[in-house]
């Protein structure tokens, strides 16, 4: 390597370093330039349409299973049972964040819009079980047993009311039509003295009978 090449390499190193420092200085001085935040003390606010962790409002959810059927990776699972009011009652609702690919299809097809993306994105864990979100913490078997008991009680109550209504119906018809025994007695009773059995009014006078 000659002296000329040696000096050129030194000049190229100095020029490259100066160029890089110029960019660094601009980021450090100009307030309009974006700088690195001191994470985790400082965090960027996600955009409005950011697809973060899924959240389901179980008070609004109708257990239609649309989210389960449309999910391409089967990360959503739910169990439901029909209640006494003929509506579906959720027994369990789980979302596996470890399998979710945040495509947003489940949010799009949700009829009551109870399922939505949040701004959450931090869920580091060494156990895959911790990535499963349980939205109903009560045991599914207990919920099903309680709902079955309510359905049985409602059915028994409806049956009792039906039987009571059927037993009261003949009595109401009898009271409306009147007592058949009393009506038969009035029909067979002899007419009053001096009265016309056919309802003619005053008694007929005998021939030749004159008024004094």
**Short-list 124, 126, 133, 78, CA closest to 100:** 133
CA distances (Å), origin 31, targets 25, 35, 36, 79:
11, 9, 12, 53
Res 26 pLDDT > 90: no
CATH number for 61: 3.30.70.3270
Q: Is residue 16 part of a domain?
A: no
Question: For residue range 117-130, what is the model confidence (pLDDT) as tens digits?
Answer: 999 988 888 998 99
Q: Is residue 194 part of a domain?
A: no
Q: What is the pLDDT of residue 162?
A: 87
Q: What is the pLDDT of residue 201?
A: 45
Q: Is residue 195 part of a domain?
A: no
Question: For residue range 150-190, what is the model confidence (pLDDT) as tens digits?
Answer: 999 999 998 898 888 888 777 666 666 655 555 555 555 55
Q: Is residue 2 part of a domain?
A: no
Q: Is residue 79 part of a domain?
A: yes
Q: What is the pLDDT of residue 97?
A: 93
H-run or E-run covering 182: helix 180-188
Q: What is the pLDDT of residue 5?
A: 85
- Report how many domains make up the chain: 1
Instruction: Tell me the pTM.
Output: 0.60
Cα separation of 120 and 123, whole Å?
Answer: 8
Q: Is residue 19 part of a domain?
A: no
Cα separation of 164 and 102, whole Å?
Answer: 57
Q: Is residue 3 part of a domain?
A: no
Q: What is the pLDDT of residue 175?
A: 64
Tell me the residue range of the domain where 137 lies: 35-182
Q: What is the pLDDT of residue 212?
A: 42
**Short-list 99, 199, 92, 84, CA closest to 149:** 84
């Amino acid at each position: 390597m000659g002296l000329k090449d040696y000096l050129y390499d030194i000049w190229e190193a100095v020029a490259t370093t100066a160029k890089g420092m110029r960019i660094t200085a601009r980021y450090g001085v100009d307030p309009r330039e974006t700088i690195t935040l001191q994470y985790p003390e400082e965090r960027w606010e996600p955009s409005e349409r950011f697809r973060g962790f899924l959240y389901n409002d179980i008070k609004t959810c109708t257990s239609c299973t649309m989210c389960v059927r449309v999910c391409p990776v089967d990360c959503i699972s739910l169990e439901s049972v029909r209640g006494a009011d003929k509506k579906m009652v959720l027994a369990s609702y789980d979302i596996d964040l470890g399998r979710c690919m945040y495509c947003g299809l489940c949010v799009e097809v949700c009829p009551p819009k109870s399922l939505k993306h949040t701004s959450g994105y931090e869920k580091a864990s060494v156990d895959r079980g911790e990535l499963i979100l349980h939205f109903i913490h009560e045991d599914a078997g207990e919920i099903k047993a309680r709902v079955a008991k309510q359905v049985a009680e409602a059915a028994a109550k409806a049956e009792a009311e039906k039987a009571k209504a059927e037993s009261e119906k003949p009595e109401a018809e009898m009271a409306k039509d009147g007592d058949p025994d009393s009506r038969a007695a009035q029909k067979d009773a002899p007419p009053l003295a001096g009265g016309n059995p056919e309802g003619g009014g005053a008694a007929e006078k005998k021939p030749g009978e004159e008024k004094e």
